[in-house]
Chains A and B, each alone.
Chain A
Amino acid sequence: MREYWVILRAELFGLFISPATYVASFYFLSLLAIGFRFFIESFTTTDWILPPLSSLVVGLVFGSPGLIPFLTMRSFAEERRLGTLETLMSAPVGSISLVLGKWSASYLFFLIICGFAFCFPALLHFLFPEQGETLGFTQYEQWIGAWTFLMIFGASFTSVGIFASSITKNQMVAGMLSFTLLTLYLSVMAFSFGESSSLNSIDNFSDFWNACVGSFGHGLHKLQHFSVGLIDVGTIFHQLILSFLFLSLATLQVERLNH
């Protein structure tokens, strides 16, 4: 456990001193702020059915393929390129602590960026309380739901990035791979992550398939629940499994490198 904290601290420090992280975060937050501003301005004229706060979540989730690679691509690829992974493993540190430490650092940094993004509506509400109330910023269940949604998806997205970084020595390749995997993942999520069938209604393979991956045409269905403060345990479980899967693959890869 001690090694985990040491790795986490060192990785966070590494992210904080890396110019690439700042550049990526700045551009990401700037684009998000601009998008959010225009969305809020035109909110009354759009047919957006979700609370306005969810637009920020959608922006953060769909912008992740552009941000997550910057947070994760260095973690293992750079260590492998420099050969410092061997030095690291010569200390009393296990591969699980190593992977978890690096993943936690990227994840925390992602949450920090999400925290900054959440400052936009918070600031809006602080400066213009009436407008904020009209837009529903006083309903705290929406904030909790939106934050939980980001937390669970951030966990699985960063684990994909860590896995991509562990399989190559080249940072750029790691970055492109995690961008591709996340885009693919979001595409699948956007188109197929709909209503899951209950066990009672599984009568044929099609029902079973829908229960597993959801039905097409219900893009971001789960965000509807989260955006109004309805926590969907199934979605949390789903994302935790994905995080566990990719982190396990990254751990296996690190162990394979040493053999």
Chain B
Amino acid sequence: MAFKKFTPRKKYCRFCASREILLDYKNVEMLKDFITDRGKIIARRITGNCAKHQRVLTTEIKKARQMALLYYTVTHSADVKKKTT
């Protein structure tokens, strides 16, 4: 038992597991799970998404950024602007 390795929980693709989750740029709360606090898209190595869904996810996140539903970077976010002015 001395050398028992730490085994992390198996990651799985959330969108493959449930067809209910709509992968859509309007579903901002869901997209927020896949970006960091700074607004960067989290690698699928970390989230466990499959390649197919990660591809769709990135384009949807980028659409949401275009429409000001998500920020590109924190320094551009409306919250930061409010604090500085």
A and B interact = no
Question: What is the interface of chain B, defined by CB distance below 8 A to chain A?
Answer: none
